[in-house]
Structure formats: structure tokens, C-alpha cells
Structure 1
Amino acid sequence: MTISTADRRLRVLHIEDSELDHQLIMAQLRRAGLDLELHRVDTLAEVSRALEGNWDAVISDYNLPGFSGLLVLDMLKESKRLLPFILVSGEIGEDTAVAAMRTGASDYLLKKDLARLAPALLHAIEACESERARIEADRELLKSKQRLHELAGHLQTSVEMERAAIAREIHDDVGGSLTALKFDLAWINRHAQDPAVQQRVQSALETVTSAIEASQRIMHNLRPAILEQGLVAAVQWMAARFERRTGIITTMRTSHEQMQLPAGVPLVAYRTAQEALTNVSKHAQATRVHIELSVDSGVLTLELSDNGVGIAAGALAKARSFGIRGLHERAATVGGWVDLSSNSKGTSLILSVPLEADSLDRFGGEDHPAVTHDPSAWGGA
């Protein structure tokens, strides 16, 4: 963007104790075609008041009565205002000029070289406006990211609520109906005299039993009721079930047998382990998996590592690698983060979640409330 007289009238604060030098600078800038208002102040009190005004730039002499241009630059920095600052002086040493530029001055020049002032002023204003635009863009980007994180957290919560509702429906409707049907079939089996009927009933009983087991499995995946026994018990159960299902040797180590964690953290850790084990079974070609669950210095850490083939280079950057992105977003809902490392010898996933300062006092000694309702505990005839 190029600033010209057609764009707007420039308001410039001029800190100068010489009225003659002020007039020379004003004449030089107007000769360059700039439409501007150049306001002169020459005392520290006037500078302090003037800096509260709305200016496009500040031009300051270096040597002033009782203070220097560098002091004005420090005042400008303390005010947190982003304004172009050009230092102009009759005499200025190289060391002083370098110090001014390091402190934040936009430019410096000698009074005998005022022909450079107009281009330097325009360039400084343009650079400052570009910086303001960049800061505003960064601010908007940060807001956008925050909104996306909030949306991701809301979606994660909504998904878990929907899963819990579906699990209740499976238990109350499907599970209840299947259990009642199993009892009826068992009654028919006990009272039937025809062997053919008994055989068909027995076959139907096996089908219903299989359907109940499938419903239990689906319900466990939707709503891990085992979490009511605590995160450690839930991860141990998951690891044992994973080993039975896949044949992959799965070991687990924990720093505490019981952990009382803030709301939401156990479910995030459980889902992270569940997703990681699913990825191991699908892609890793591993023969061993190790899970470590610990609390140290107020941080819950869940680490899951395998001895598989690792993740291909660039796989995590794929546009549709939603699994890993989902883990990051899920961890962020409780203030945590996920670290993933991989090579040809295996993959390691680490979930870290900071806990409240007083959480450590509650580890290892709490009594979990009794489980009064387990949706997976459907009756068998």
C-alpha cells in the first residue's frame, strides 16, 4: 500500500525545541507533496500529554532541553502504542543511532539530510500499518483457533452424550427385549416334548445369546461403564480384552492402583487408549504393546507404545488423518496434549493432562462409590 496526499491528511507529532528547525522540516515535507499537520512540542510534560493523541507518526530531535529522543522512544514503548518513530538530529553518533534502532526507532537521519525525511516517513508509516494489519490478522487467527477448539470440545461432548443415550436405549429396549425373549425360549425349551422343537428352541437360544453378547459389546464401546470402577481398572480391562481379541501381547504398568481424577479426564484418557489400540490392530503389525499410566508432578500421563512398523513419513500430514487430529482435539478439551513419535521400530503415543494442584493428595486412597447400575449386566436365563 502506498500512502499519498490523496489518501488522507497525515497527523505528525514533532518533538523539537527549535522553531526554525520545525519550520524547515515542515517546509521539506510539504515540498515533497505531503498533506500533513505537524504539531510541535518541546517539554517532557507536553510530550507525555501529546503521546495520548491520535498520530500517524512521531518525529523527534535527539538533543532536547532536559531529556533526549531516546527517552521519548522509551515512553512510546511503555504506552504500548505502535507508532512510527523517526529520530532527527544535527549530530548523532553511530552508537547512538544503532541503539535507537535496536530500541525500536523506525529510522534516523541528520538535519543536513532532510531530503530523505519524506520517503523515510512514508516508508515508516506503511511498515507500521502493515505491522498493525499483521497483528490484527494474528489476533483474528487466534480467535478463530479458539472458536474451533471450543467447537471441537462441544462436538466431543455431544458425541459422548449421544453415545450414552444410545447405550441406554440398547440396554433398556434392545437388551431388555432380548433378555425377555431368552427367558421365554428357555421356558418353551423346558416344556416342549418334541425333540425337533427343543432343537429349534436351543438354536434360537444360542442366537439370542449371541445377540445379547453383541449388544453388550456395542454398549461397552458406546459407553464404557467400566470407567465407574476407575481409569486404571478400565484401561486394564481394555488391555486384557485387546490381547484376547488380537493375540498381541499387551502389558500395563501404573503408578497408582486407583486415581481420582477431575471430571472428563478419565473418559479422555480411556478414549485415547481405545483409539491408539485400534490403530495398532489395524496398521502397526505389532506383536507387543505396552501401556503406562502414571501421575507425576500433577500431570497425568498415558503412554502407549508398540513394536510395529511405525507410521509412514508424511502420513500424519494427510488431509484426512482425522484420527490423530481427533486425539489432539479431545486432549485439548481437558487442557492436555498428545505427543506422537514413530520410527521403523515402533510408535509411541503420549497423552499428558495437567491436574489441579490438590489432585496429588487424593491419589491412591479414595474409595470409589459402589456401582449401582451396570448397563452391561443383562440377565441370563
Structure 2
Amino acid sequence: MVCHDPERHLSILHLEDSLADHRLTVLTLRRAQLAFDMQHADSLEAFQAAIASQSIDVILADYQLPGFTAMDAWQLVAQHSDHPPFILLSGAIGETAAVDAMRLGIADYVLKDDMARLPHVIQRACEVHESRRLREHAVQELAASQKRLAELAEHLQSSIEQERAAIAREIHDDIGGALTAIRFDLAWIGRHSTQEGVREHAQAATSMLQHAIGASQRIMMNLRPPILDQGLVAAVQWLAEDFERRTSVPIKMVTSSANMPLSDAVQLVAYRTAQEALTNISKYAAPTLVRIDLSDSEGMLTLEVNDNGKGLDTRALEKPKAFGLKGLQERAKMVDGWLDISSRPGQGTSLILSVPLASIPPPTGDDTR
């Protein structure tokens, strides 16, 4: 309802047992040149029937009526979230009672002795009501937009992982197979050639080919590590060993069990979180020790990666282009989890992924990664 729309009459419901007071109210609003249609109700039953059958813009109500009060009528109105402004128009209400009523949600109150204020109070109540309605609509639109963005992010992440898996399979099946075949051919040439120069070129080419095979294997592991088929613990352990080999920084890894029955989605989120955390540590932290704790106890998967490095400026987490960490947060939401990051300059960084396992279905065996 847009109760201050100048192109329409206000639909006013007046709950009043005095016909004289009702007529005085109508006269007051007409003198103020307010465009309105007013319906009169003098019982709770008539009031309830009116609000159930019509679109009402404003409700005016006497406080004390035979056998009930305006607060009884308010209880009927308050059941609806989109109820119109409810204004007390009474001579039998004290200041304290009026304030208490407004705390419950009554829009305003006007004493009958000061009825000249009524048109202004109605207009102000309508404006406040419309402002509140627009604000609630904006909040709903924002929530819907955030939901759509979250769904899009989930779809993009899923598509990215599927594409990574497809590329990894192509590298393994096509490029890897071709490189291996070339290596065998070079080895044959090296064994059977009688020319020293040819053998030297074959050996050099074999060395370069071995480097290419190693690079393709590293790319495959980054795209979609086959070791995930052996479980999350084995995959994170491989990440830790690879990190130690590349950086010479020791990692202490502690797990609650060797095998964790997790869904493919949870395994992948935890793996990517550990991977991103170790990548950031190797790039920025300059630590002397890293610790990884992985637990699936008490219905909660917890992955904690700690380092004793330079630490992270917490303002960096709010940067618009901090996509890596924000991506991890979105990944966590995809499995109903959350990500906590704490850090102090010079005192290292702690990244904790928490995922409730009760709501996660068991593994299906389908490779959707």
C-alpha cells in the first residue's frame, strides 16, 4: 500500500463507538482537504471483518471501547507483517499508556481534544510506513541478489573444478601418453645409433623431455590431484611434503584419523583450502615452521593451517581484489562451512576451515571433481 500516493484516496478504517466522534473525525479530515474514504466500525467483530475483506491504508482507533480496547484490535492487526499504520485517536488514554502502545508498534496517538493534529499525524504515519516498506523491500531484494550471487559462485566453482578435471585427464591421456612414447623412441635411437652426435642429441632431448613430463605431472596434480582418490589425509600429506620439498620449511601435520569418510565436495573444499593456504605461506609469510591440524571428530571437519611467519595485515582481507581468500570463504559456504582467519604482524597467521559433517551426505563414488 502506498498511503501517501496523491492520485488515490486513502482508505481509512475508524474504530469508534461514538458516532458523534466519528463524524467529527470525518469533518476534521475534510477541512484539511485530505482525499479519503472512511469506513466506520464500532465492534471488534466488525473491525475484524473490515481488515479481512478490504485493503486498508490507515487505521484510527479509540482506546477504550465497550468490552474491549484498541490493544485488542491491534493484536488482530499485528498478526500481519504488512499491516497499515495504526493510530490511536482517543480522549481516554494517558501519556504512559500511549508511549507503551507505541513501543508495541502503534504508529502514533492523537488526543480528541487536539484533533486538528490528526491530518498531519496521518500523513507522517503514512510516510514512515512507506519508507519502512521500501526499506524492507530493498533488504529482500539485497538478500535475493546475494543468494543469486552465491548460487552463481557455486556454479562457477563447480564448473571450474569439472574443467580442471577434464584438462587433467586430457594431459594424462593424450599429452602424457605422447611424451612417454617419444621418450621410448629417443631411448631406441640412443641405443641403436652409431653416430656420437646423434646419441648426444638424443640424450639432450630425453633430458628436456623428462623435464616436460615432470611439468605435465605437476600441472595435473594442481588441476585435479589423483591422490584425492586415496582420501583427504593422503592428499593434504602430499601437499605438505611437496611444500617442504620446494621451500625447505618443515611442516608438522597432525590428524585425528588416517581415513576420514567425507563427501567428494567436502574433500575438495578442504584440499583447495590447504593448497591456497600453503601457496600464500610460501609467497608471503617467510616462516620457519608450519603446522597442519586435520580433524573429523564430534561431527565437524576442522582444517587448521598455522605458520610463524610475518603475519597478515587484517586490512588485506578487506581489499576488493583479495580474491584468493574470498574464494575460499565462498567454497566453505558451498558445504555449509565457514572460514576463520586470524593474524598479527610478526606473529604468524592461522587459517581454520570448519565444516559440519552431519548435514553432508556420504561419498557416492561419483567423480564430479
- Tell me the equivalent position of 1:127: 128
What SS does structure 1 have at the residue aligned with 2:327? helix
Point out the more displaced range, 93-102 or 162-171: 93-102
Whole-angstrom distance in 1 between the partners of 2:298 and 2:107: 46
Q: How does 1:104-253 map to 2 (within 5 A)?
A: 104-253=105-254
Residue 40 (structure 2) pairs with residue 25 (structure 1): no
Match of 1:347 among 346, 349, 362: 349
Q: CA 1:248 to 1:79, structure 2 compared with 1: closer, same or farther past 3 Å?
A: same
- Tell me the equivalent position of 2:92: 91
Task: Give the alignment's Cα RMSD to 1 decimal.
Answer: 2.0
Q: Is the 8 A contact 1:5 1:35 kept in 2?
A: no
Q: Is the 8 A contact 1:268 1:331 kept in 2?
A: yes
- Tell me the equivalent position of 2:81: 80
Which letter maps to 1:150?
E
Whole-angstrom distance in 2 between the partners of 1:231 and 1:346: 25
- Tell me the equivalent position of 1:296: 297
1:106-152 CA distances to partner (integer Å, 9 max, x unpaired)?
11121111111111111001100110101111111001000000110
Which letter maps to 1:15?
L
Q: Is the 8 A contact 1:298 1:357 kept in 2?
A: no
1:290-347 CA distances to partner (integer Å, 9 max, x unpaired)?
1111123322111111111112242222221111111111112222111111102011
Whole-angstrom distance in 2 between the partners of 1:286 and 1:4: 64
Q: CA 1:297 to 1:116, structure 2 compared with 1: closer, same or farther past 3 Å?
A: farther
- Tell me the equivalent position of 1:57: 58
Matched length: 363
Which letter maps to 1:347?
T
Q: CA 1:179 to 1:90, structure 2 compared with 1: closer, same or farther past 3 Å?
A: same
1:244-279 CA distances to partner (integer Å, 9 max, x unpaired)?
111122111111211111231101110111111111
- Tell me the equivalent position of 2:287: 286
Point out the more displaced range, 306-315 or 158-167: 306-315
Which letter maps to 1:44?
L
> Can you give the 5+ residue segments of structure 2 that lack an aligned partner in the other structure?
none
Task: Give the TM-score, by structure 1 length.
Answer: 0.91
Which letter maps to 1:232?
V
Residue 31 (structure 2) pairs with residue 35 (structure 1): no
1:8-60 CA distances to partner (integer Å, 9 max, x unpaired)?
21001111111111011111111112010111111111121212221111111
Q: Is the 8 A contact 2:10 2:36 kept in 1?
A: yes
1:6, CA displacement in angstroms?
Answer: 3.8
Point out the more displaced range, 350-359 or 176-185: 350-359
What SS does structure 1 have at the residue aligned with 2:261? coil
Whole-angstrom distance in 2 between the partners of 1:325 and 1:167: 25
What SS does structure 2 have at the residue aligned with 1:297? helix
Task: Give the TM-score, by structure 2 length.
Answer: 0.94
Q: Is the 8 A contact 1:85 1:106 kept in 2?
A: yes
Whole-angstrom distance in 2 between the partners of 1:24 and 1:241: 87
1:358, CA displacement in angstroms?
Answer: 8.4
Whole-angstrom distance in 1 between the partners of 2:357 and 2:192: 60
Q: Percent identity?
A: 52
